[in-house]
Amino acid sequence: MTAITRTWLAMAAIAAGLIHVALGAGAPLALGVPLVAIAVAEMAWGAAAVVKDRAPFPNAALLGALAPVALWAGMIVAASVSGTPELLAPLPFLAMGSATLFSLFVACVLAVHRRRAMRASDPAAGSSGATGTAARRSSSEPSVGRYLLGVLAGAAVMSALTTPALANTHAGQSAVPHGTSHGVHSDH
């Protein structure tokens, strides 16, 4: 896995964590506690992924990335079956949808990386020459310029999805608008 891919995974995990903590802040306690716990785990994993030279705990991270997706899907099913759409009120679609995109990105990249690693260790795959190609591809790191361009592109995409999602949460709607002060109002 290249440094750019690890950095994108880290940014996606941290972005999902930010959205989940904002959702947890405005949710009822029974939903807020699991969301904040998931958010802390996502942000800690994202920070570790930036620091390490490989994705930390990839199997656990794969399952962890799917946990909030399963939680949201379960709530959608429960709201549909029970006929009570107000169950979904604490989880606005834009915010939870963006967090789900980030979580699915992390899960998909980790799953692809896991599959490639399993193929590389399979003796039957070694006869086709795929192992040597995969090893050369994973060991080639981009130049500094390409890495920085990759980081900037990833940051642009992450911020373009995260900012409106955060604004769509209860915490984002309660935030003081830019350009105004906190409680001190001036007539001029």
Number of domains making up the chain: 1
Q: Residue 38: its pLDDT value, please? A: 94
Task: Tell me the per-residue pLDDT of 104-136, one tens digit each, with 9 for 90 and over.
Answer: 999 999 999 989 888 888 776 554 444 444 444
The C-alpha atoms of residue 68 and residue 105 are separated, in whole angstroms, by 13
d(CA 50, CA 4): 10
Residue 46 lies in a domain: yes
Average pLDDT over residues 143-171: 91
184 in a domain, yes or no? no
Beta carbons of 72 and 120 less than 8 angstroms apart: no
| Domain assignment present for 112 | yes
For the residues 36-56, what does the mean pLDDT come to?
Answer: 92
What separation, in Å, do the N-terminal and C-terminal C-alpha atoms of the chain show? Answer: 55
Q: Is the pLDDT of residue 101 over 90?
A: yes
Mean per-residue pLDDT, 139-145: 77
Q: Establish if 89 belongs to a structural domain.
A: yes
In eight-state DSSP terms, residue 56 is: S
Q: What is the pLDDT of residue 31?
A: 87
Q: What CA–CA distance (Å, rounded) separates 5 from 11?
A: 10
Question: 149 lies in a domain?
Answer: yes
Residues 6+ apart with CB under 8 A from 45: 10, 13, 56, 57, 61, 64
Q: What are the structure tokens assigned to 81, written together? A: 């079956």
User: What are 13-38's pLDDT values in tens digits?
Assistant: 999 999 999 999 988 898 889 999 99
CA-CA-CA-CA torsion sign (23, 26, 28, 34): positive
Q: What is the DSSP letter of 88?
A: G
**pTM value > 0.85:** no
What pLDDT was estimated at residue 179? 61
**130: its two tokens:** 């795929």
Tokens 């692809």, residue? 112
Contacts of 33 (CB under 8 A, 6+ apart): 24
Question: In terms of residue numbers, what domain contains 14?
Answer: 3-172
Mean pLDDT of 73-97: 88
Any domain includes 179: no
Phi (first) and psi of residue 169, to 5 degrees? -85, 165
Pick the closest to residue 10 from 55, 40, 53 (CA basis).
55
Q: Residue 49 — pLDDT band, cuts 50, 70, 90?
A: very high
Q: How far apart are CA 34 and CA 21, in angstroms?
A: 10
Q: How far apart are CA 131 and CA 134, in angstroms?
A: 5
